[in-house]
Structure 1
Amino acid sequence: MSLKKNIHQLYLQILQDKIDVFQDMITSLAEDSLNDAKGSAGDKHETALSMMHLEQEKLSAKLRETLEYKTVLDQIDTSVIHTKVTLGSLVKTNHLTVYIAAALPKIDVEGQNVFGISAQSPLGISLLGKETGYSFQLNNVNYQILSVE
């Protein structure tokens, strides 16, 4: 399997794991609030329910964001080799290796640190449409594209 496919699969697995955790936490909070509602009354009860509801909203927002990232990855065909940087490109520069997809954590694949970045990030914008050999400066750092896959 190619490096790009390995990276893509690892990011899909990371996102699916996050989705599963968020869904479990939301379900657990919903069950806790139902159980709490059966046996409590008064101001403490209302405060506890409000706190659980706020936590549920935060988790739901994180779940939506993670699902959006997964949707972006699901649309990428890793068998396509790019000559110009676009969504789904694996780009090696003189400073770092990035996978243009979504804002994802740094991972180590086959001994290489890879950063998942969004095409809308400052670095992503600087890279889009460029080819191997292109040089640019971002935040006082000089970058050169060594390869695009």
Structure 2
Amino acid sequence: MIDLKQELFKQCAVFVNKRSQTVEEIISSNQKALQSETKSSAGDKHETGRAMLQLEMEKASQQLAGISVMNQILAKIDASKTSDIAHLGSIVITEKANYFLSISAGKLTAFGKDYYAVSVSSPIGKILLGKKVNEEYSFNKINNKVILIK
């Protein structure tokens, strides 16, 4: 079980690192573009271009802040910790799907099975948080039951 948690944790870390690299490349590219923007006879066009680049930079900065939060959440996960109650870092097996309560990283595959990495602040994460084995819940008008918590 710990191997499975470590594998899912590793995949989440890789997801965050890839996003971080992408955002940093965008920021670097936009900084170069801002520096190379030269004033032309079309002044309004120049100002519009700079404003658009500035907006892109702000958006990328917000994404970097989100990535930082994801790293903080991952730092709180202890792969060796197990519990009968679903918590941050738990693997929750239900009748319909498998979840890893961590960050919103989407569908992950480990040891031949699919798991959904979901944030504990996401709608499904909030529902699963605190659940115990055999507890039933409803999400999107679909009834489900917790089979196992790792």
Alignment of 1:105-124 (within 5 A): 105-124=106-125
Alignment of 1:46-65 (within 5 A): 46-65=47-66
Q: Distance in 2 between matches of 1:78 and 1:147?
A: 16
Give the structure 2 partner of residue 35 of structure 1.
36
Q: Distance in 2 between matches of 1:126 and 1:34?
A: 48
Q: Distance in 2 between matches of 1:28 and 1:104?
A: 25
Task: Report the Cα offset of residue 121 of structure 1.
Answer: 2.3
Q: Which runs of 5+ in 1 are unaligned?
A: none
Query: For 1:86, what is the secondary structure of its paired residue?
Result: coil
Query: For 2:68, what is the secondary structure of its paired residue?
Result: helix
Task: Report the Cα offset of residue 102 of structure 1.
Answer: 2.1
Aligned AA (2:3): S
Give the structure 2 partner of residue 66 of structure 1.
67
Percentage identity across aligned positions?
A: 26
Give the structure 1 partner of residue 141 of structure 2.
140
Would the aligned equivalents of 2:12 and 2:103 in 1 still touch at CA under 8 Å? no
2:83 corresponds to 1:82: yes
Q: Distance in 1 between matches of 2:66 and 2:96?
A: 28
Give the structure 1 partner of residue 10 of structure 2.
9
| Dislocated runs of 4+, deviation >3 Å | none
Query: For 1:2, what is the secondary structure of its paired residue?
Result: helix
Aligned AA (2:88): L
2:96 corresponds to 1:95: yes
Q: Distance in 2 between matches of 1:40 and 1:29?
A: 17
Task: Report the Cα offset of residue 139 of structure 1.
Answer: 2.2
- Aligned pair count? 147
Q: Which runs of 5+ in 2 are unaligned?
A: none
Query: For 2:99, what is the secondary structure of its paired residue?
Result: strand
Query: For 2:35, what is the secondary structure of its paired residue?
Result: helix
Give the aligned CA root-mean-square deviation in angstroms.
Answer: 1.4
Q: Distance in 2 between matches of 1:13 and 1:138?
A: 29
TM-score by length of 1: 0.91
Task: Report the Cα offset of residue 21 of structure 1.
Answer: 1.2
Task: Report the Cα offset of residue 80 of structure 1.
Answer: 0.8
TM-score by length of 2: 0.91
